[in-house]
Structure 1
Amino acid sequence: MGEDDHDPLSEEGAPEARRSRGERGLLLLRLLPNLVSILGLCAGLTAIRFAITGNVNIAVLLIVLAAFLDGLDGRLARMLRSESAIGAELDSLCDFVNFGVVPAMVLWIWGLRAEASMGWIAVLIYAVCCMLRLARFNVGNREEVPKEKTGFIGVPSPAGAMLALTPIYVAHVTGYRLHEAVITFWMVVVGAMMISRLPTPSLKRVRIPASSAPFALVAAVAAVALVLTYPWVMLLLFSIFYATALAWHALRHLRRREV
């Protein structure tokens, strides 16, 4: 047969043959969550580039963007019903780079190179703690360990990254740069909180009365506007609020254990 001679039976049989080999069609839209994860990774890696060239402001904002995309990809996967094992692994690998490696490197480039030895040790400790945190979380998901009803166990890696960058927020808001030893100690403390067994709050499980939904939406819009207008002040307030919530949860946990 020539190029213009088509065999209908072979064309009709092709889909059945592909199905028999285990091949299935994949909607392109279902790749969107993985694309969002990859975009988050690109944002994180680009943050290191800007930090090296001295533009730490953009570097921090790119890490914030990576955290936003990290919260978005999982919701997209559930909404599109495209959750998969490879998507979960991809998300975890991106989290380690974006919230374990990148914040530590940005902090070291910004404020720890003068204290090279101790600062680099803090970078290593923080990155290893983030890796252990993610590994524990992944193993818990595979083994279907019952999850806390009110929050997480240990500080999640995106929140840990936002906390670790607090010295940069302080410098922008107050004009005062903390001593290298303080920054080093703070990184180690945040790393320890990520691998701790203390319960931590989760905004995903916060419930409000249905009648308060309009007010919550207005508050969310106002919060976004404030972040865009006063990013450093809002990031510092987030760190203070979250650290206070962590202390309150830790005290509740200790009191329950004593009882």
Structure 2
Amino acid sequence: MRPIRRRPIARDFSLLQLLPNILTVTAICAGLTSIRFGVQGNHLLAVELIFFAALLDGVDGSLARLLKSNSRMGAELDSLADFLNFGVAPGLLVYFWALQDMRSAGWISVLALAVCCVLRLARFNVAMKSEDEAPGPRLPPGYFMGVPSPAGALLAMLPMYISFAFTAPGANHEPVVPGILICGWLVLVGLLMISRIPTWSLKAARVGRENVKFLLVGVAVAGAALLTYPWETLILLCLAYAAMVGLAAARPPRRRSRD
């Protein structure tokens, strides 16, 4: 008599293990909602939602590794969320705000940003699956190759920050930057995403025990500044990050050999 094969018992997941995927789905909802508010003209809330999605993106992966709940589904979901939140939403916000009158040129720049973002994500996924398959030389620990997509999204909206910071509250917030320069800026940010410039990874940063108190005070001050002077603070953050990228391009860190 042949033995009866029992079906494998489905593994149940705790809500805590599903938390990284829940955060990723929340980030997707934030990105989609930012597009809605951008179309409706509520640009501040739209930008804040993309910033919120960027914060969630920085947490979900680390949380998944901490809870040992990594999965292929979670990795694919994270990539799709990054493309929507940092490749599609920022470009659409800028387009609906300032580039609709330019028609073809404005839309081409939005497409360039989105395509560069998805190419970067594809390259990153290949590198994560097998480091030996990653094109080009290896970078030292603590560095990305090219500008990460969350940082690229925040940089892409810099013309919006400038225009809103230097116009009176309640005004129509017409762009103070010419449309053709905004188009060029979107293309430049897209090219930075797929470039081979080594950029510093915040996730790899380490803080000495004696400096923790200063970091906490700095985070509190930055958070208060974002709430009180959002546009000016975002401009300073973008300029500081752009300076870091320029410094890394001028003086790249030593790369690891493949031996």
Q: Shorter-chain TM-score category?
A: 0.7 to 0.9
Distance 1:75 1:214 in 2: 23
Counterpart check, 1:130 vs 2:107: no
CA separation of 1:72/1:178 partners in 2, compared to 1, >3 Å: closer, same or farther? same
Aligned to 1:6: none
The TM-score with structure 2 as length reference comes to: 0.87
- Correspondence for 1:81 among 41, 45, 68: 68
1:45 is aligned to: 32
For 1:233, the aligned partner's letter is: E
* Distance in 1 separating the partners of 2:181 and 2:151: 20
Residue identity (%) = 49
Does 1:103 pair with 2:90? yes
Which residue is equivalent to 2:22? Answer: 35
Q: Which has the larger radius of gyration?
A: 1
Is the Cα–Cα contact under 8 Å of residues 18 and 24 in structure 1 kept in the other structure? no
Aligned residue pairs, count? 240
1:202 aligns with 2:193: no
CA distance in 1, matches of 2:145, 2:6: 43
Q: Distance in 1 between matches of 2:140 and 2:9?
A: 38
Stretches of structure 1 lacking an aligned partner (at least 5 in a row): 1-16
1:219 to 2:218 alignment: yes
TM-score of the pair, normalised by structure 1 = 0.87
1:152 aligns with 2:144: yes
**For the residues of structure 1 that align with 2:34 and 2:215, how far apart are their CA atoms?**
32
CA deviations 1:191-222 (Å, max 9, x no partner) are: 00000011011122233332112222222222
Aligned letter for 1:92? S
Structure 2 residue aligned with 1:239: 238
> In the TM superposition, what whole-angstrom CA distance separates every residue of 1:88-144 from its partner, at most 9, and x where no partner exists?
110010000000011011110001011111000001111000000000000000013
How far apart in 2 are the matches of 1:148 and 1:42?
A: 34
> Quick check: 1:59 aligned with 2:46?
yes
1:25 Cα deviation (Å)?
2.1
Find out whether 1:165 has 2:172 as its counterpart.
no
Structure 2: tracts of 5 or more residues without a match: 133-137, 168-174
Provide the C-alpha distance between the structure 1 equivalents of 2:105 and 2:253, rounded to a whole number of angstroms. 32
**1:106-125 → structure 2 map (5 Å cutoff):** 106-125=93-112
CA RMSD of aligned residues (A): 2.0
Change (3 A) 1:107 1:195: same
| Change in 2 beyond 3 A, CA 1:19/1:108 | farther
- In structure 2, distance between residues paired with 1:169 and 1:127: 20
Specify the alignment match of 1:177 in structure 2: 176
Q: 2:218 corresponds to which letter in structure 1?
A: A
AA aligned to 2:227 is: L
Q: Bigger relative contact order, structure 1 or 2, given CA contacts below 8 A and separation 6+? A: 2
More helix by share: 1
Is contact 2:35–2:46 with CA below 8 Å preserved after alignment? Answer: yes
The structure 1 segments of at least 4 consecutive aligned residues displaced by more than 4 Å after TM superposition are 17-20
In structure 2, the CA distance between the partners of 1:21 and 1:255, relative to structure 1 (3 Å rule), is: closer
